[in-house]
Amino acid sequence: MNRFFLEITYDGAAFHGSQLQGEIPTVQLFINKALRILFNLEISSFGASRTDEGVHALHSYYHFETECDLIPQLLYKLNCILPESIAVKAIYKCVGEPINARFDAKSRTYRYRIYSTKNPFKLKRAHYFPYSFDRDLLNETAAVLKNYNHFESFSKRKTQSKTFLCNIMESYWEEDGDELHYVVKANRFLRGMVRGLVSTQLQTARAGTLQDFIKIIDANDCTKADFSVPGHGLYLEDIEYPIEKLVRVF
């Protein structure tokens, strides 16, 4: 049995999240259907990340297994079958002991985009946030997160995670044209974690202090954090795997 990875990008506004939910339109549903059509048998894919409704992906991965030979021009044919909101960028074969798209990722990087001047061309692509806030305090809240590794306050309830430990490698805000972006990289993320981090930082920068933010982290209570920012401002930007485990075939 051979295992293959699909590197994909998708517009999250077109789907009710990434993970399979019966016949509800999700990214995984359309990938499974495309594989079934091309291989003429049931093939299940497994995603690298469980993004919420509206969340976009610049780089994400799904793995699948098959005993069949790969179909000629598989990349082209997959893109012909998949809806316009999903594109397969590359196909890789696992070498040696197969790795799992979700559990063997070394890190994930997310980017959250906000803008303050109304712009209809940013609708469903970034979060409109026309409010004043303390930019210096926003930078401080992002930086202090790297001092912690327990993030229960930023995990939504009904999670499947058995631990709330995460190693945050990067956490900062940066300007990009007329937008402000939050970038965070970690070895793993909890359910709703990035949106919780973004929303709580913004609320703190509007009417709080760094100490208020630290108290929320230390509380280990998700009712203290805010998760209200919408999914359409969030982008899964990159996922890293052991480079020696994947060989590009298309």
Please identify every residue annotated as catalytic.
52
Provide the 10 A C-beta neighbour count for residue 74: 18
- E strands, 11-120, in order: 46-47, 56-66, 86-94, 107-115
Alpha-carbon distance of 223 to 205, in angstroms, equals: 18
Where are the alpha helices (H) located in the chain, listed in sequence order?
Answer: 27-39, 74-81, 135-144, 193-207, 210-219
Query: How do strand 168-176 and strand 179-186 relate by DSSP bridges?
Result: antiparallel
Strand (E) or helix (H) holding 128: strand 127-128
Alpha-carbon distance of 47 to 18, in angstroms, equals: 8
Alpha-carbon distance of 238 to 13, in angstroms, equals: 19
Contact 217, 196 (CB under 8 A): no
Contact 141, 201 (CB under 8 A): yes
Where are the alpha helices (H) located in 145-248, listed in sequence order?
Answer: 193-207, 210-219
